[in-house]
């Protein structure tokens, strides 16, 4: 048995996966810290630094009308009179061109460049905060999407402007309670072109004419939805744009002199009408500014900006309307809108220089705050920016209104350069996909999957053929992996890929010559046979991966996984029957007995196994169906009611229903404990006095009782027992903490002493017949083991006779490996259940039953197939089923791959007062979210042991005729001790196969995110799915290693135990 | 069960033996063929005889397929507003009825079904009753399976049951026609060496194709395309019917191309 190489190899494979995931995610997810400070009127941002009430001055405009046309691309807004045959989207907005040419001092049309991600919600955040929102704005609470950062809507509200909003209801969720009056319309249905627009048009003109508003935001969605539905090159787009033309005309007619009109698109669209990415077609929208009073000093000049970044709108609007610039803004004011020099006595407000100075000071303040909070801006560029600012500051303070225009111009340009530099630095840090990193991550992930697959295929041959073959590649691989990880994380991506490739090739070469390719014909046959057997599980796994590429399937994932699980589960008996294994073979006298094949199993056993198989299939199907009733609902799923079991008891009103739920949960909990204990007792694992047995005997039931009490305490409605309130409060803290401690202690005991074997000495001739006690012990095992050990190790001392010695009985030796594993599973399950709502106990029980059903199906199939002895390898089908079941119960424990469905309550179990750190609550929430992944990963090695555990059943059921072979059959898991080589290779194969199945799912989800990064649903469906899938993989792989580690630890303990026994025996 | 097939095969064998003897006599009469040619001739004749069964199967399948077609087209002529999506259940019942009637008729006329040992009225009646019971049980079975696979339990129970009836008429009815009301035989047919005649093989193929078609039909349901054929159970019933038609086409072709590998042993 090789322990260290297996662990090292697995660790290395996992590390490879982690590196791939890390690289991809760091290239794909853009992270930014939110600064939760707000600007105020009395900030010292004034020109010259003297204190003055900023908001008190008379602003240039009293009111503004923000007309947002979603996805108004700049191509839509341009007008080309020479174009005689315009496409449906061309030349449909002539009003813009007419106005800019007829009234050049009143209006301008600019291309308006958005920053990726170009999705509506991120864009609204962008042009209201003036910042560059990324996918994850850390500090944002996931539960609601409200903008907590300082923004222009908030600032307008602060200075007393009356805000009115109509249109896309995204605004309502982003700015709850900020608007005086708001008329949101549903934006979710992409096929609906008119509801939002018509809703706005009903109210827009009447509101405009009225005098009860200062800032009016109208967000039209029709153009965007038309793009999504038909694409830009469609007559419907022409109609929609013509309608928008009419709207703009009508609005301009009704404008008053103190009002600024802003018509803008929040992003563009590709030729197919999609957006979300960073191509120029998606980022370039249109910006049209108009006012009935002259807005610009003159007609467009050379100094006009060619393209206006979207962030520039915020400071411009803020200064034009006399509000402070929002704190996190990194945009710069749009200079043409400000007069070059201060005009005395006019209402023009700030001059160019003053406006820029206010802007520069605000941006510098933000930069200081941000860099003190986060370290992601490179220090050298930060230092350069600081130096630039101090130069500017001294230059500005030195300048006076009387200084020459040339020096002023120079100062203006320097300030602009500073603002642009800050913006570019921030953008480089936050707002750019890193395609190299993404590609490298993808490649490494794919390589890791391939490598895992190759190792799993090769490990079988390794066990049979190569001794010591494994150590060389493992050692080198470990060395390489360290280099690889270091290189990847620190320096450069290309080198990393190269290293991975070389390692891969190297390993391949190491393993290759003898074991990779089938050498003999028998092996070739085996190979092709396994390839043939591979097909349907591969198909199902492929379907599962393909389903991750479609948003509809991701939304319906819980049902899709159950469907696939049932299909593959039903396939197992169908396939066995098709091959004629399920019916006892008819007697066929003509057929000569096959010499090579093992003898077919006896008909009675086959019949019994097929009944077991069918019964377990029924259990599996029933469990899977019942588990559907524990699902939660996504917001995309229209007609769906979340499971009633998901709400905690404390929230339930009806007391009878509450009692019923409590009783049901208690019953499930009791059954969970009882089943585990019964199994352990059945195989004689409860007789010894070691740590593991202590945990099984006392910790398990005690924890269950404590859990039941805890539910009762937390379920009592508040204020029902007034005099006991303090006691209840204390119990709410003490009980879960005591449970954590108890379970932790039990797990530690289990790890320290995993042996559950009880030794009993008795006289040589006395005792009960082995048949009678077979249920509880396997007496002959030890005899056999001792004999075989002596044969191998003590050849010299073989003179003594066996019969004269006292016989020794060893209870629980047959399940020495699976018992601690199962026990750990049970303990973990109780701990995880503690973090869930009470009703989930039923779901956990279903999980246990389904696990047992899968294990029995696997064991029966193996028994019926009657593989040659010593072949412990687990085929793909049960592993794919195992992985599917773990995803299925992710959903059936009330979880969903969305951020809003994370059960935050788990962080407060045992800590009702909250936490001081972030690590502990994060761990608790992660444990809660991935509980099914954890349980299935820890229990994965059981797939290897279960056919052996079920073996005793086969021997005992054989009846009297098989009595002679009883001793042969009842060896159970000691078979693994007999073939340590096969054991290690089978364990390695099992783990790598499971990792492969999980890794391919991660790969598919990563591919979905990479390929569909322009998809409408990328931030809503695919990215959350990607994050949940990768986190699930991390947790699964870690706990798989824990499971494998426990098995290896047990093996070590068993080896020691045998040695001690032999020693004692020899010394006697 | 197998006695019927054995009988049928014996009948064929006898027939082909007769024909063989005819051809032998023809050979003797002419006396101009070489020995080799004689063997080739007999082999060709054997293939033709083999083909006879396949031809019968192909034509019967063609009749069944055309009945499905007619069941789709004819009601559209007579019933106002009939369409596969709009009045789906109606279409489903018409296909079910047509397939059932034509299947029973074809197999009865061909004489594939099991000849009764006892020809008494009581025995026939009990067989009939048992067949009906099996059909009913199979409907319930399919209904349960479909519900377990995720169909709504209560809301559209009628639609689900109609699908179960359709599946029954496509699979169980054919089993009944070919094998008689004998569950043991049904179970045995669906294994690698279980087929005992070309009809058994075609039964395997059509049943597998219909079920796989129904399974595949469930795939488009979660997609958000809002098409009329995504409504439950339209895609599944369409899938099963398309699968069934595919099976009808594939079965004779497959048997034809694998005729050398197919060896049926009678029990």
Q: pLDDT tens across A820-842, in order?
A: 999 999 999 999 999 998 889 99
Residue A718 burial (10 A CB sphere; 0-12, 13-18, 19+):
exposed
Chain B touched by A587 (CB under 8 Å): no
Nearest CA in chain A to B149: A563
Give the CA distances from residue B66 to residues A690, B70, B99, B103, in Å, rounded to whole numbers and listed in that order: 74, 6, 10, 12
Report the alpha-carbon distance of residue A784 to residue A917 in Å, rounded. 56
CB atoms inside a 10 Å sphere around CB A98 = 13
CB atoms inside a 10 Å sphere around CB A863 = 22
Nearest CA in chain B to A563: B149
Q: Which of A218-232, A235-249, A279-293, A748-762 has the lowest mean pLDDT?
A: A748-762
Q: What is the mean pLDDT of residues A24-44?
A: 79
Contacting A residues, span 589-628, partner chain B, CB-CB under 8 Å: 621, 624-625, 628
More confident: B41 or A926 = A926
Nearest CA in chain B to A565: B149
Phi-psi region of B252 (alpha: psi -120 to 50; beta: other; left: phi over 0): alpha
Q: Does B191 contact A577 at a Cβ distance shorter than 8 Å?
A: yes
Q: What is the mean pLDDT of residues A878-907?
A: 90
Q: Does B218 contact A563 at a Cβ distance shorter than 8 Å?
A: yes
Q: What is the mean pLDDT of residues A484-500?
A: 55
The predicted pLDDT at position A432 comes to: 64
Per-residue model confidence as pLDDT tens digits over B51-91: 777 888 888 999 999 999 999 889 888 888 888 888 899 99
Chain B residues touching A566 at Cβ < 8 A:
148-149
Q: Is the pLDDT of residue A798 over 80?
A: no
To the nearest whole number, what is the mean pLDDT of chain A?
80
Mutation site for A-interface testing, chosen from B144, B188, B200, B222 by largest number of A Cβ within 10 Å: B222
Contacting B residues, span 192-221, partner chain A, CB-CB under 8 Å: 192-194, 215, 218
The predicted pLDDT at position B170 comes to: 93
Report the alpha-carbon distance of residue A574 to residue A321 in Å, rounded. 74
Residue A1066 burial (10 A CB sphere; 0-12, 13-18, 19+):
exposed
Chain A touched by B224 (CB under 8 Å): yes
Looking at the complex, report in whole angstroms how far the Cα of residue B197 sits from the nearest Cα belonging to chain A: 17
Chain A residues touching B190 at Cβ < 8 A:
574, 577-578
Chain A touched by B150 (CB under 8 Å): yes
Report the alpha-carbon distance of residue A996 to residue A13 in Å, rounded. 10
Nearest CA in chain B to A620: B148
Report the alpha-carbon distance of residue B206 to residue A83 in Å, rounded. 61
Chain B touched by A395 (CB under 8 Å): no
Q: Please check whether residue A21 is in contact with residue A1030, taking contact to mean a CB–CB distance below 8 angstroms.
A: yes
Per-residue model confidence as pLDDT tens digits over A178-223: 898 989 888 767 678 888 899 999 999 999 888 889 999 999 999 9
Q: Going residue by residue through chain B (267 aa), what tens digit of pLDDT does each one get?
A: 333 344 434 444 444 444 444 444 444 444 444 566 666 665 565 556 567 778 888 889 999 999 999 998 898 888 888 888 888 999 999 999 999 999 999 888 887 655 556 677 888 888 889 999 999 999 999 999 999 998 888 888 999 999 999 999 999 999 998 888 888 888 888 888 788 888 888 999 999 999 999 999 999 998 888 888 888 889 999 999 999 999 999 998 888 888 777 766 544
Between A and B, how many CB-CB pairs are < 8 A?
41
The predicted pLDDT at position A241 comes to: 92
| Tokens 């003999």 sit on residue | A520
Q: Does A583 contact B188 at a Cβ distance shorter than 8 Å?
A: yes
Contacting B residues, span 74-103, partner chain A, CB-CB under 8 Å: none
Q: Does B148 contact A625 at a Cβ distance shorter than 8 Å?
A: yes
Chain B residues touching A559 at Cβ < 8 A:
150, 222
Chain B touched by A142 (CB under 8 Å): no
Nearest CA in chain B to A546: B219
CB atoms inside a 10 Å sphere around CB A90 = 19
Nearest C-alpha neighbor of A735 from the set A647, A834, A624 = A834
pLDDT-above-90 percentage for chain A: 30
Task: Identify which of A191, A563, A583 has the shortest CB distance to residue B150.
Answer: A563
The predicted pLDDT at position A484 comes to: 59
Task: Identify which of A552, A567, A577 has the shortest CB distance to residue B223.
Answer: A552
DSSP class of residue A160 equals T
Q: Does B222 contact A559 at a Cβ distance shorter than 8 Å?
A: yes
Q: Does B150 contact A559 at a Cβ distance shorter than 8 Å?
A: yes
Taking the whole predicted model, whether its pTM rises above 0.90 is answered as no
With bands split at pLDDT 50, 70 and 90, how would you rate the model's confidence at A273? Answer: confident
The predicted pLDDT at position A110 comes to: 92
Per-residue model confidence as pLDDT tens digits over A70-111: 999 999 998 888 888 888 888 889 999 999 889 888 899 999
Task: Identify which of B148, B193, B226 has the shortest CB distance to residue A580.
Answer: B193
Chain A touched by B187 (CB under 8 Å): yes
The predicted pLDDT at position A18 comes to: 92
Contacting A residues, span 522-581, partner chain B, CB-CB under 8 Å: 550-553, 555-556, 559-560, 562-563, 566-567, 574, 577-580
Task: Identify which of A579, A624, A625 has the shortest CB distance to residue B192.
Answer: A579
Task: Identify which of A550, A563, A583 has the shortest CB distance to residue B149.
Answer: A563
Nearest CA in chain B to A566: B149
Q: Does A578 contact B224 at a Cβ distance shorter than 8 Å?
A: no
Q: Is the pLDDT of residue A56 over 80?
A: no
**Alpha helix positions (H), A431-492:** 435-464, 471-490
What is the helix, strand, coil percentage profile of chain B, to 5? 75, 0, 25
Structure token pair of residue A928? 């809660």
Chain B residues touching A578 at Cβ < 8 A:
190-192
Looking at the complex, report in whole angstroms how far the Cα of residue A299 sits from the nearest Cα belonging to chain B: 50
Give the CA distances from residue A984 to residues A3, A478, A987, A1048, in Å, rounded to whole numbers and listed in that order: 8, 18, 5, 9
Chain B touched by A637 (CB under 8 Å): no
More confident: A450 or A495 = A450
DSSP class of residue A777 equals B
Report the alpha-carbon distance of residue A94 to residue A75 in Å, rounded. 12
Mutation site for B-interface testing, chosen from A577, A626, A631, A891 by largest number of B Cβ within 10 Å: A577
More confident: A252 or A481 = A252
Report the alpha-carbon distance of residue A73 to residue A283 in Å, rounded. 8
Chain A touched by B191 (CB under 8 Å): yes
Nearest CA in chain A to B219: A560
The predicted pLDDT at position A506 comes to: 55
Chain A residues touching B187 at Cβ < 8 A:
577, 583
Q: Does A580 contact B190 at a Cβ distance shorter than 8 Å?
A: no
Q: What is the mean pLDDT of residues A498-513?
A: 54
The predicted pLDDT at position A466 comes to: 45
Task: Identify which of B190, B218, B224 has the shortest CB distance to residue A552.
Answer: B224
Q: Does A583 contact B187 at a Cβ distance shorter than 8 Å?
A: yes
Chain B residues touching A625 at Cβ < 8 A:
147-148
The predicted pLDDT at position A313 comes to: 92
């Amino acid at each position: 048995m090789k322990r260290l190489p297996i662990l090292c190899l697995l660790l290395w494979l996992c590390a490879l996966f982690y590196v791939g995931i890390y690289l991809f995610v760091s290239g794909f997810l853009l992270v930014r810290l939110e600064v939760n400070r707000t600007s105020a009127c009395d900030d010292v941002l004034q020109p010259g630094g003297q204190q003055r009430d900023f908001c008190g001055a008379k602003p240039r405009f009293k009111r503004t009308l923000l007309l947002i046309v979603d996805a108004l691309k700049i191509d839509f807004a341009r007008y080309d009179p020479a174009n005689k045959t315009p496409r449906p989207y061309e030349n449909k907005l002539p009003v813009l061109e007419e106005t800019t040419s007829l009234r050049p001092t009143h209006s301008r049309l600019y291309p308006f460049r958005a920053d990726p991600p170009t999705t509506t919600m991120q864009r609204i955040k962008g042009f209201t905060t003036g910042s560059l929102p990324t996918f994850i704005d850390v500090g944002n609470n996931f539960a609601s999407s409200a903008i907590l950062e300082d923004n222009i809507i908030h600032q307008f509200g602060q200075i007393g402007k009356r805000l009115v909003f109509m249109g896309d209801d995204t605004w309502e969720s982003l700015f709850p309670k900020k608007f005086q009056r708001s008329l949101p319309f549903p934006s979710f249905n992409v096929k609906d072109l008119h509801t939002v627009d018509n809703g706005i048009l009903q109210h827009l003109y009447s509101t405009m004419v009225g005098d009860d508003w200062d800032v009016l935001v109208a967000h039209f969605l029709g153009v965007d939805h038309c793009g999504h539905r038909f694409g830009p090159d469609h007559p419907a787009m022409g109609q929609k744009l013509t309608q928008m033309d009419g709207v703009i005309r009508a609005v301009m007619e009704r404008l008053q002199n103190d009002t600024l009109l802003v018509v803008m698109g929040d992003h563009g669209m590709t030729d197919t009408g999609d957006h979300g990415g960073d191509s120029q077609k998606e980022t370039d929208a249109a910006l049209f500014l108009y006012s009935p009073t002259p807005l610009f000093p003159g007609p467009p000049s050379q100094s006009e900006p060619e393209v206006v970044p979207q962030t520039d709108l915020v400071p411009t609007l803020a200064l034009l309307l006399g509000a402070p610039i929002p704190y996190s803004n990194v945009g710069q004011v749009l200079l043409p809108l400000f007069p070059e020099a201060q005009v005395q006595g006019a209402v023009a407000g700030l001059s160019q220089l003053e406006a820029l100075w206010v802007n520069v000071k605000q941006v510098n303040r933000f930069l200081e705050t941000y860099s003190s909070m986060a370290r992601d801006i490179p220090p050298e560029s930060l230092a350069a920016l600081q130096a630039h600012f101090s130069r500017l500051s001294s230059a500005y303070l030195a300048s006076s209104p009387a200084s020459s225009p040339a020096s002023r111009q120079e100062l203006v340009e320097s300030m602009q350069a500073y603002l642009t530099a800050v913006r570019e630095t921030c953008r480089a840090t936050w707002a750019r996909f890193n395609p190299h990193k993404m590609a490298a991550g993808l490649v490494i992930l794919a390589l890791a999957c391939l490598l895992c697959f190759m190792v799993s295929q090769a490990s079988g041959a390794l066990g049979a053929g190569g001794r010591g073959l494994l150590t060389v590649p493992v050692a080198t691989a470990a060395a390489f992996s360290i280099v690889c990880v270091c290189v990847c994380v620190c320096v450069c991506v290309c080198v990393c890929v190269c290293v991975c490739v070389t390692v891969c090739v190297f390993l391949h070469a190491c393993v290759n010559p003898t074991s990779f390719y089938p050498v003999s014909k028998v092996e070739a046959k085996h190979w092709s046979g396994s390839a043939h057997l591979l097909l349907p599980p591969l198909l199902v796994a492929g379907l599962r991966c393909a389903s991750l590429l479609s948003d509809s399937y991701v939304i319906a994932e819980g049902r899709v996984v159950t469907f696939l699980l049932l299909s593959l589960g039903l396939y197992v008996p169908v396939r066995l029957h098709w091959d004629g294994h399920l019916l006892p073979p008819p007697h066929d006298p003509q057929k000569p007995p096959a010499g090579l094949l093992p003898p077919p199993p006896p008909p009675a056993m086959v019949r019994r196994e097929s009944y077991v198989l069918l019964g377990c299939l029924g259990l599996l199907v029933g469990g899977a169906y019942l588990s559907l009733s524990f699902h939660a609902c996504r917001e995309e799923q229209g007609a769906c009611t979340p499971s009633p079991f998901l709400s905690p008891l404390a929230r339930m009103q009806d007391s009878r229903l509450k009692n019923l739920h409590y009783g049901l949960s208690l019953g499930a909990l009791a059954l969970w404990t009882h089943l585990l204990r019964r199994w352990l007792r059945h195989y004689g694992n409860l007789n010894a006095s070691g740590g593991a047995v202590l945990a099984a005997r006392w910790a398990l039931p005690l924890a269950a009782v404590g859990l039941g009490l805890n539910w009762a305490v937390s379920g009592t409605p508040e204020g029902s027992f007034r005099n006991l309130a303090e006691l209840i409060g204390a119990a709410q803290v003490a009980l879960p903490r005591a449970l954590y401690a108890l379970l932790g202690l039990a797990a530690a005991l289990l790890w320290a002493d995993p042996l559950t074997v009880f030794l009993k000495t008795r006289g040589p001739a006395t005792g009960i017949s082995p048949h009678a006690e077979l249920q509880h012990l396997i007496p002959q095992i030890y005899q056999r083991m001792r004999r075989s050990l002596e044969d191998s190790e003590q050849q010299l001392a073989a003179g003594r006779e066996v019969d004269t010695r006292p016989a020794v009985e060893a209870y629980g030796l047959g399940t020495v490996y699976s018992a601690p594993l199962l026990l750990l599973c049970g303990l973990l399950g109780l701990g995880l259940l503690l973090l869930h709502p009470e009703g989930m106990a039923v779901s956990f029980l279903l999980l246990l039953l389904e696990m047992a059903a899968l294990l029995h199906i696997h064991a029966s199939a193996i028994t019926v197939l009657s593989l040659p002895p010593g072949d412990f390898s687990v085929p793909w089908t049960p592993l794919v089923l195992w992985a599917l079941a773990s995803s299925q119960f992710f959903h059936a424990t009330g979880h969903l791959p969305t951020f809003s469905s994370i059960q935050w309550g788990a962080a407060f179990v045992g800590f009702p007062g909250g936490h001081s750190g972030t690590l502990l609550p994060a761990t608790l929430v992660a444990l809660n979210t991935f509980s099914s992944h954890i349980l299935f990963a820890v229990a994965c090695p059981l797939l290897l042991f279960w056919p052996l555990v079920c073996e005793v059943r086969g021997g005992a059921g054989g009846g009297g005729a098989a009595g002679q072979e009883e001793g042969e059959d009842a060896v159970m898991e000691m078979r693994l001790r007999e073939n340590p080589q096969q054991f290690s290779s089978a364990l390695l194969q099992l783990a790598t196969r499971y990792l492969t199945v999980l890794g391919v799912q991660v790969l598919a989800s990563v591919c979905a995110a990479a390929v569909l990064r322009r998809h409408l649903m990328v931030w809503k469906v695919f990215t959350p799915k990607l994050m949940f899938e990768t986190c699930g993989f991390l947790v699964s792989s870690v706990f798989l290693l824990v499971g494998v580690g426990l098995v290896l630890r047990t093996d070590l303990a068993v080896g020691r135990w045998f040695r001690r026994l032999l020693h004692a025996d020899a010394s006697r | 069960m197998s006695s019927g097939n054995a009988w049928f095969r014996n009948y064929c064998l006898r027939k082909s033996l007769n024909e063989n003897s005819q051809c032998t006599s023809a050979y003797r009469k002419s006396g101009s063929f070489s020995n080799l040619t004689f063997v080739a001739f007999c082999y060709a004749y054997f293939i033709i005889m083999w083909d006879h069964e396949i031809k019968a199967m192909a034509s019967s399948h063609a009749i069944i397929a055309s009945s499905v077609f007619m069941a789709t087209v004819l009601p559209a002529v007579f019933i106002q507003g009939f369409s596969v999506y709009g009045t789906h259940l109606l279409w489903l019942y018409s296909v079910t009825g047509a397939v059932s009637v034509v299947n029973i008729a074809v197999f009865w006329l061909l004489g594939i079904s099991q000849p009764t040992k006892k020809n008494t009225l009581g025995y026939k009646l009990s067989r009939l009753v048992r067949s009906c019971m099996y059909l009913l049980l199979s409907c319930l079975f399919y209904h349960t399976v479909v519900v377990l696979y995720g169909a709504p339990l209560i809301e559209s129970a009628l639609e689900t049951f109609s699908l179960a009836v359709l599946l029954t008429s496509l699979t169980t009815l054919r089993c009944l026609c070919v094998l008689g009301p004998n569950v043991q035989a049904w179970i045995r047919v669906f294994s690698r060496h279980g087929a005992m005649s070309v009809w058994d093989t075609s039964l395997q193929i059509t049943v597998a194709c219909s079920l796989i078609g129904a399974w595949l039909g469930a795939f488009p349901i979660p997609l958000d395309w809002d098409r009329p054929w995504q409504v439950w159970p339209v895609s599944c019933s369409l899938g099963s019917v398309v699968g069934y038609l595919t099976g009808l086409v594939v079965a004779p072709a497959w048997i034809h191309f694998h005729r050398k590998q197919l060896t049926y042993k009678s029990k």
